[in-house]
Amino acid sequence: MTDWEFRDPMFLLLALLAPLAYWLATRVPSRISFSSLELLSGSPQSVRGRLARLPALLLAAAVPLLAVATAGPRTPDAKTKTSGEGISIMMVVDRSGSMQARDLVPNDVRIDRLTVVKEVFKQFVLGGQNAGNGRPDDRIGLVAFARYADSLCPLTLDHGNLVALAEELNIVTRRDEDGTALGDGLALAVERLRQERTKSRVAILLTDGVNNTGAIDPLQAAELALREQIKVYCIGAGTEGIAPVPAVDPFTGRTVLAQQYVEIDEATLKAVADKTGGKYFRATDEASLMKIYSEIDRLERTKIHELRYLQYHEHFGPFALGALGLMVVAALSSSTVFRRTP
């Protein structure tokens, strides 16, 4: 039997208002003062008197039913259960200041490296004209790093939300946050993949620089990946030689494009990939970067154990009708049988 679940479980907290509803229903808005009740003290209480608080109890009982109905109880339709063939992939993207270089799109210096990376990543995940059908059955997550590494999205099949988070990724602007912590970024990705049960787990590390900060050396992070049987594919992004990079002219204060030497620690990236059974690639423009992701797209696939349901059976109706019935009975009884005299 399929377990029940709630669409919006936070609404269940409304059930805590039941005592308040009871208290409000039992309040006496007006009263008549008597000089003495001695003559009534010995009189037996009638059935009507003993049940005088029944309408209030009915209203209080209606509150939890309304809470359950609002929370949206439902059961998934087992006939619409789906699973797919895929792998677990953690993307590790450099967002250091050097990603501002404008060299991955030929003859267009308006587009920086990170913008190109995000667009190629989007096509890799969702598919596109030059990227096939995407990776609909893969659990994919995102880690970004500069001086510090951040987990922006856990491994998920919700690729729409993943791409939305990736599109919000920006290059660091503060000097105290800039840097290239390759080891920290990779180690964080390994930690996220370590808990996955899929047979094939992959980290794709993209950078345009040299490891120059962080608490973990890239080769140490590669050792952690090897221990967990996680492949690491490394991508060095940037043209050979020099690249145009935005800089502030000290004389005019205007932002201009200055030619800057491109330095990528390919030896370390190759060592990381070789140690884990992966591969190193060099992307010198958008087209070559797309080809790299296309090659990675041909990785082995394994069974994803996460279940997805396309349809659900909603069960809020009986709870809503039950609550409505209790409120109607409470209203009718309080205005007839249990009507109070001011």
Enclosing H/E stretch for 24: helix 18-26
Question: What is the pTM (predicted TM-score) of this model?
Answer: 0.63
7-21, 71-85, 92-106, 108-122, range with the lowest pLDDT: 71-85
Which residue ranges make up each domain of the chain?
1-26+48-81+307-342, 84-303
Whole-number pLDDT of residue 130: 64
**Tens digits of per-residue pLDDT, 35-83?**
555 555 555 556 555 667 788 888 888 889 998 989 888 887 655 555 5
**Tens digits of per-residue pLDDT, 260-318?**
888 899 999 999 999 999 999 999 999 999 999 988 887 655 555 555 555 677 888 88
Are the C-beta atoms of 191 and 88 separated by less than 8 Å?
no
**Tens digits of per-residue pLDDT, 207-232?**
999 999 999 999 999 999 999 999 99
Q: CB atoms < 10 A from the CB of 143, how many? A: 24
Residues 6+ apart with CB under 8 A from 201: 87, 88, 89, 90, 193, 228, 229, 230, 231
The stretch 238-251 carries a mean pLDDT of: 81
Whole-number pLDDT of residue 5: 82
Q: What confidence tier does 87 reach under pLDDT thresholds 50, 70, 90?
A: confident
The stretch 183-206 carries a mean pLDDT of: 92
Alpha-carbon Rg for the chain, nearest whole angstrom, is 32
Whole-number pLDDT of residue 1: 45
Tell me the fold of 84-303.
Rossmann fold (3.40.50)
Are the C-beta atoms of 89 and 139 separated by less than 8 Å?
yes
The four Cα atoms 210, 216, 219, 220 give a dihedral, to 10 degrees, of 180
**Tens digits of per-residue pLDDT, 311-332?**
677 888 888 898 888 888 888 8
